[in-house]
C-alpha cells in the first residue's frame, strides 16, 4: 500500500449542488494532511464519503487500501472519526463514553481498560475521567472525542474542524495533541479547517478547496512561496486609479498582482523592503496618489485570494449576512 488515502475523481452531488467535484488526493501513511476551505466548500462531504457515512456519486476512494464502497466494513475498522458536531453522550462520564466505543468495536474488557488508560493520558484527561461529560469545558469535550476516535488503534484519523468554536488558547492546546498523536502514535490524519493558521501550523500538506474542487495543493511553505515574495498592500486615494496602477506594475514587470478591490491593490515582490521605493516611484510617475503602504509575509489567505479572487473570511461574512437576512425576512 502506497497511500493511506487515495481518491480518484471522487464526486458527490446533492440535487442541484455538486458538493465535491472530482477530487483526487493521495495522502501518505503518517502524513498530517489538511483540507482548507470556506464554509460550504465540501470538506465535511469529502470526509463523510471517506469514512463511509455517505456514498460517492462518482469516482472512487481507497482508505488504508480498502475501497470505501466495496469494503466499507474494513475501512471502518481502520479509521477513527471526530465529527464537526459533538456525538458524546453528556450524561455519561468520560470513561463510560470511551468504554462504550470500545464495546462497539468489539474490544474485550482487558484491552478496553488498558486502551482507555492510554488514550486518557494522551489527551491529559485522566483526572477528569470519572466526571459526567456535561461538566466538561468545550476543549475537554473535544479532547475526549479525539481520545474516543483513537480507542480502536485506527491507522487513519479524520478530524472535521477539530477546533471549531474554541478559544485561541484551547485551540493551541488541541493542536499539540493532534501533533503528538501524529508523531507518537504514527496515526495518519486528515483534518478539515477553515482556520488558515491551523492548517499552516499543523499540516505537512494542504489542499485548498473551494466549491468542491481543489484549487491548490502543496506544503504550507510552498503554497506561500508560490506567490513569489512578500505581499505589499497599497491603499489608493482615488478608486478610479486601481486598474491604471495594476497596468503600470504589469508593464514594468516588478510585481505580481494578487488581487485588487475598489481602493486597494495587493502585489507580491521579491525583497519587499528594497522594492517599496521603486513601487512608490512608479505610482508617482503615473500620477496616482498612494495613501497607505504595508509589507508582510504571505499567508494562506493570500494564496486563497490568489486562486479564487476572494478571501476565505469574505465568504464567512457573506454566510453570516445570509443567515441574518433569512432571520430578518422570517420575522417580517
Task: Between 105 and 307, name the residue whose CB sits nearer to ligand ATP.
Answer: 307
Alpha-carbon span 160 to 85, nearest angstrom: 9
Backbone CA torsion sign across 36, 42, 47, 49? negative
Q: Does 44 bind Mg ion (CB under 5 A)?
A: yes
Task: Between 34 and 272, name the residue whose CB sits nearer to Mg ion.
Answer: 34
Task: Between 20 and 32, name the residue whose CB sits nearer to ligand ATP.
Answer: 20
Q: At a CB cut-off of 8 Å and minimum separation 6, what does 238 contact?
A: 263, 288, 289
Task: Between 39 and 292, name the residue whose CB sits nearer to ligand ATP.
Answer: 39
40 binds, among Mg ion, ligand ATP, none (CB under 5 to 8 A by kind): ligand ATP
25 binds, among Mg ion, ligand ATP, none (CB under 5 to 8 A by kind): none
Rounded least distance, CB 192 to Mg ion, Å = 6
DSSP state, 303? H
Largest pairwise CA distance in the chain: 79
Rounded least distance, CB 318 to Mg ion, Å = 17
Candidate segments 42-50, 60-68, 129-137, 147-155, binder of Mg ion by CB under 5 A: 42-50
Alpha-carbon span 150 to 157, nearest angstrom: 8
Candidate segments 11-19, 39-47, 121-129, 201-209, binder of Mg ion by CB under 5 A: 39-47
Rounded least distance, CB 150 to Mg ion, Å = 21
- At residue 214, φ and ψ (nearest 5 deg) are -80, 125
60 binds, among ligand ATP, Mg ion, none (CB under 5 to 8 A by kind): none
Task: Between 99 and 200, name the residue whose CB sits nearer to ligand ATP.
Answer: 200
Candidate segments 58-66, 79-87, 142-150, 204-212, binder of Mg ion by CB under 5 A: 79-87
Binding residues vs ligand ATP (CB under 6 A): 14, 17, 19, 37, 39-45, 84, 194
Rounded least distance, CB 84 to ligand ATP, Å = 6
Rounded least distance, CB 288 to ligand ATP, Å = 39
Residue 13 in 3-state DSSP?
A: strand
Q: How many CB atoms lie within 10 A of CB 154?
A: 20
Q: How many CB atoms lie within 10 A of CB 32?
A: 22
Rounded least distance, CB 67 to ligand ATP, Å = 21
Alpha-carbon span 78 to 83, nearest angstrom: 16
C-alpha cell recorded at residue 253? 514587470
Is there a contact between 207 and 214 (Cβ–Cβ < 8 Å)?
A: yes
Rounded least distance, CB 48 to Mg ion, Å = 9
37 binds, among ligand ATP, Mg ion, none (CB under 5 to 8 A by kind): ligand ATP
- At residue 261, φ and ψ (nearest 5 deg) are -130, -165
CA distances from 288 to 199, 246, 280 (A): 38, 11, 9
DSSP state, 226? T
Q: What residue ranges bind Mg ion (CB under 5 A)? A: 43-44, 84
Amino acid at each position: 500500500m502506497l497511500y493511506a488515502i487515495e481518491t480518484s475523481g471522487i464526486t458527490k452531488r446533492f440535487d442541484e449542488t455538486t458538493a465535491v467535484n472530482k477530487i483526487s488526493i493521495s495522502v501518505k501513511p503518517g502524513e498530517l494532511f489538511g483540507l482548507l476551505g470556506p464554509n460550504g466548500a465540501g470538506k465535511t462531504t469529502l470526509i463523510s464519503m471517506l469514512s463511509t457515512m455517505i456514498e460517492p456519486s462518482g469516482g472512487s476512494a481507497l482508505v488504508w487500501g480498502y475501497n470505501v464502497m466495496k469494503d466499507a466494513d474494513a475501512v471502518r475498522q481502520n479509521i477513527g472519526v471526530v465529527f464537526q458536531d459533538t456525538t458524546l453522550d453528556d450524561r455519561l462520564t468520560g470513561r463510560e463514553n470511551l468504554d462504550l466505543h470500545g464495546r462497539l468495536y468489539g474490544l474485550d474488557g482487558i484491552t478496553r481498560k488498558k486502551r482507555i488508560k492510554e488514550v486518557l493520558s494522551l489527551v491529559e484527561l485522566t483526572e477528569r475521567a470519572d466526571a459526567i461529560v456535561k461538566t466538561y469545558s468545550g476543549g475537554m469535550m473535544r479532547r475526549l472525542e479525539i481520545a474516543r476516535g483513537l480507542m480502536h488503534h485506527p491507522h487513519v484519523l479524520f478530524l472535521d474542524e477539530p477546533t471549531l468554536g474554541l478559544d485561541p488558547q484551547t485551540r493551541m492546546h488541541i493542536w499539540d495533541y493532534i501533533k503528538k498523536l501524529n508523531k507518537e502514535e504514527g496515526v495518519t490524519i486528515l483534518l478539515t479547517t477553515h482556520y488558515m493558521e491551523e492548517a499552516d501550523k499543523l499540516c505537512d500538506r494542504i489542499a485548498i478547496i473551494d466549491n468542491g474542487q481543489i484549487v491548490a495543493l502543496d506544503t504550507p511553505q510552498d503554497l506561500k512561496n508560490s506567490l513569489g515574495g512578500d505581499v505589499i498592500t497599497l491603499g489608493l486615494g482615488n478608486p478610479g486609479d486601481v486598474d491604471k496602477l495594476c497596468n503600470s506594475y504589469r508593464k514594468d514587470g516588478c510585481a505580481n498582482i494578487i488581487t485588487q478591490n475598489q481602493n486597494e491593490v495587493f502585489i507580491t515582490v521579491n525583497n519587499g523592503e528594497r522594492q517599496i521605493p521603486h513601487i512608490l516611484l512608479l505610482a508617482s510617475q503615473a500620477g496616482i496618489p498612494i495613501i497607505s503602504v504595508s509589507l508582510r509575509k504571505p499567508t494562506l489567505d493570500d494564496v486563497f485570494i490568489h486562486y479564487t479572487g476572494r478571501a476565505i473570511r469574505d465568504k464567512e461574512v457573506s454566510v453570516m449576512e445570509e443567515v441574518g437576512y433569512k432571520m430578518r425576512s422570517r420575522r417580517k
